[in-house]
Amino acid sequence: MKRIAAAVLALLILASPALFAQGKPVKLVFTSVSVPGDAHTEAMTVFKNEVERLSGGQIQVDVYHSGQLFTQQAEQDAIRKGTVDMVYTSAQWLAEFVPYLSMFGAAYTFQSYDQMTKTFNGPIGKRIFEEVAQKTGIRPLVAYYLGTRQLNLVAKVGPVTRPEQMKGVKLRVPNSPTWIAMGKALGANPTPMAFNEVYMGLKTGAIEGQDNPLPTDKNAKFYEVTKYIVLTNHVVDSTWPSINEKKWQSLTKEQQGWIMQAAEKARQFCDKTNLENEKNILDFFRQEGLIVIENPDRAAFAAYAKNSYLTESKEISKNWDMDLYEEIQKLR
């Protein structure tokens, strides 16, 4: 009987090694302040379903959105401390610890979605994310596309295709040095103003333009008080699903592989969703009577922005890695 029992046990081990190896499932808590309907909120569920499928339940993900657990600032602190396993972070949040990352939130570091995703989701991004992991204890996995900021101007300004035509234009910006520098980099007269004041500011002439991703322009109804949308593509924004580095190092290589595969599937979903939304929304603006300038001289805007950051906004650009900046400009 003992021999039979031993043989049965051996067969079970051979037939299902994972049963004995995996032990208790790995639990990941993934939190975000983003709300339902946002593509990157929906991508959290895509990630959860895919990693649980790939791992056969060996990895389980609890998803919390809409700031259910933390504020945006608090969740950035929480992932560094290991209080939470996964959050969305970005270059802007991490620049405090890796200063050159501030250049990724500047005007015309990226001039297209393709350039952004080739950078962050290619060899350059791999180097950046590894450095971030070592310096901050947070490991970005991939970069999701959040949207692209475009100029939105009142009728008085007229059609704009080059940065020189923005001279003197009162462009609303958030009240921070980085945003003010961006307004200057677009050739405008940056005018700090709270977001909830922008609609009336455009209507009364207190400001003559603002910039946001197109879905924001629609949701805030800026199309009611403006005439032009200029597809400058001046900030191609991204968000980085990231994991606490100690948690990452506690996983097996196979588990890390499942997580990366799931993050990539979620990235493809998020990027496709946002790109389609931006493409389809232009028809809405045209129907509302706005003039869409599809092909401004982006090269001229980019050259102007670079010079502006290196001269009148030197405090912003002093920590930039200009060799890396030039390397990125070759990715088109």
End-to-end CA distance of the chain: 71
Q: What is the pLDDT of residue 73?
A: 79
Note whether 183 and 108 are within 8 A (CB): no
Q: What angle do CA 201, 233, 326 make, to 5 degrees?
A: 130
Residue 9 lies in a domain: no
Q: What is the pLDDT of residue 302?
A: 92
Residue 15 lies in a domain: no
Residue 328 lies in a domain: no
Residue 169 lies in a domain: yes
- Size of the chain in residues: 332
Q: What is the pLDDT along the chain (332 residues), one digit of tens a residue?
A: 445 444 434 443 344 334 334 468 999 999 998 878 788 889 999 999 999 999 999 999 999 998 899 887 788 899 999 999 999 998 888 888 898 998 998 899 998 899 999 999 999 999 999 999 999 999 999 999 999 999 999 999 999 999 999 999 999 998 878 789 899 999 999 999 988 899 999 999 999 999 988 988 887 899 999 999 999 999 998 999 999 999 999 999 999 999 999 999 999 999 999 999 888 899 999 999 999 999 999 999 999 999 999 999 998 899 899 899 999 988 87
Do 108 and 220 lie in one domain? The reply is no
- Torsion on CA atoms 80, 86, 91, 97, rounded to nearest 10: 10
What is the spatial distance between Cα 141 and Cα 125, in angstroms, rounded to a whole number? 9
Q: What is the pLDDT of residue 331?
A: 87
Do 304 and 242 lie in one domain? The reply is no
Q: Give the range of the structural domain holding residue 298, as residue numbers without chain letter.
A: 148-235+284-316
Do 63 and 170 lie in one domain? The reply is no
- CATH of residue 181's domain is 3.40.190.170
What six digits make up the tokens of 37? 């309907």
Q: What is the pLDDT of residue 4?
A: 44
Residue 1 lies in a domain: no
